[in-house]
Chains A and B, each alone.
Chain A
Amino acid sequence: MKRLATFTVDGRFLGVDVTSVREVLRPQEMTRVPLAPPRVAGLINLRGEIVTAIDLRVALGRRQLGKSDRPMNVVVTTEHGSVSVLVDAVGDVLEVDEDAFERPPSTLRGSARDLILGAYKLDGGLLLELDLDAAIGTTSPSGIDAEVEDR
């Protein structure tokens, strides 16, 4: 059995390994970083620590968060320190059965394919497990460059 912390982004039901989640925060005041790659939403002050906030929508190839959006922060620990992942709503921690796991179908295309490790078939629908390193852009710096050029 595996425990996933779940949340929704743009209508998708996503999860990450619960052990990587440090804490969940209400919407925070954020400092925008001009010229930054679009997936970097800004910087937040987490009790004196400066944490980069990642707009998961951009990472998943959806439209950028708007100014009026008040996203929740899921602060995760990576080997490069803490990063905040911005999500629409936070769900429960779910225990999932490895047997219910399936690799993403080959028809899944675009940036989502690189970010989704696979899906758990739950009663209410599919829970997509997120590849955190890919989502926050520490494993594919080339991908970040491409985003900048796209802009």
Chain B
Amino acid sequence: MSLQQFINEAISPWMKEEGPDSDIVMSTRIRLARNFDQTPFPIIAKSQNLEKILDFFQQEYHHQSFNNYHDLEFVKMSDLQPIEKRVLVEKHLISPHLAENAELGGALISKNEQVSVMVNEEDHIRVQLYFPGFQLEEALDQAFELDDWLEEKINYAFDEKKGYLTSCPTNVGTGMRASVMMHLPALTLTQKVNRMIPAINQLGLVVRGIYGEGSEALGNIFQISNQITLGRSERDIVEDLQSVVNKLVEQERKARHILVEQSELQLEDRIFRSCGVLQYSRIIESKETAKCLSDVRLGIDIGYIENIPKTILNELMVLTQPGFLQQYAKKTLSPHERDILRASLIRERLKLEK
């Protein structure tokens, strides 16, 4: 398979579109947790209960279409190879938990990969919708429509006082997690992010690095999401998140502006060094990759680099993860072999643009 072909398959179609504020906001996601009312939750359900749910999804939703989400495909986890599951995880279409622990799990995925409904994860149903850039309201509207569509055939576990009943008490109520993925290189470089996080937490929102572990944010990519699901409406939660993200976007733009003004040459040097590393290195770890990609993306946004497309950061962050590298190589690779393949894949990808 050629690299171009591989990338076409690896990158979800929606990711190639440019959304609002896409210089800073990479993507928006809404997730809704739902359960069947008469069936025990997956953690203690008998396998026949879970199989029944899988069959139900297969029968009712496989090859169906809804709104813009055409040709939904239902896959059972048991029919997938470990590497195939890993690729779905790296595309964020399924969770690591579903891939590793849910033998009787499944996923209903739309052709453009914007919609993914996980089945028999921690809850029976986890509806997820992705949008490019910053589109919280649009995402919530679409999520509600999809939710209503599913509900036509499913009796949800719902209580007047407690809302949508979920397996974990942290999700009860709306069952909604709204999140926004942001690239914040200038706020990180100027160390402002760390000072802003406590204030954001006070609003019931959580900030975390999406790729790195713990508090470290690989590639300066942060995810901001709501923590509270009970007692506040979806619209209110989304409004709060929206105002915080707007503020962050504004601050990040300001910080970029100041960086350019105060230390233009250092910044330019940093960006072009990173560009050089990506273009010429022969062995590269994922951590260095993330750092360099973040620098290059910043260089594109500021206007130092012109011949590389904006989507490079989203694209290569996904492509250079272990699952994809191994799928590209069509075999299991040791970490060292992955570093070599990663370097060569990046070099090839950048050559495609020349």
* A, B bound: no
Interface residue ranges, A against B (CB under 8 Å): none
Interface residue ranges, B against A (CB under 8 Å): none
